[in-house]
Amino acid sequence: MPVKQQRAATLDEDLDMFLDELCAKWNYRNELTGAELIARKSPVTALDFTRAVVEAEGLKPDSEHNLVRQVKRKFIQRYGLEVSPETFQG
């Protein structure tokens, strides 16, 4: 079940906020945007999001098991297994 926390009004803005939080926590560069993630595939799944974040850091998801697990867990805590603009509740 997703954890309640500060949210933006739209999914793309909320994904941007979430990406910024991950960057602050793990010192990522954050070259992704929420709009870009939604445009790639909607709904955005925990696995798709995690792969995009890890690959944006220049890493290979298949060799970064701990990082993949951590990012995926954070996504699921915030959104559940997947989220789309239609199902997002800001």
**Residue 70: inside a domain, yes or no?**
yes
**Residue 4: inside a domain, yes or no?**
no
At 86 the pLDDT is 94
At 2 the pLDDT is 52
Task: Provide the domain count of the chain.
Answer: 1
**Residue 46: inside a domain, yes or no?**
yes
Mean pLDDT across the stretch 6-20?
93
**Nearest-CA neighbor of 54 among 42, 64, 45?**
64
List pLDDT tens digits, range 22-74. Answer: 988 888 877 899 999 999 989 999 999 999 999 998 889 888 889 899 999 99
Given a cut of 60, is residue 3 above it in pLDDT?
no
**Residue 29: inside a domain, yes or no?**
yes
CB atoms within 10 A of CB 38: 19
Instruction: Name 44's bridge partners.
Output: 83
Give residue 80's region: left, alpha or beta (phi > 0; psi -120 to 50): left
**Residue 5: inside a domain, yes or no?**
no
State which residues form the domain around 27.
11-81
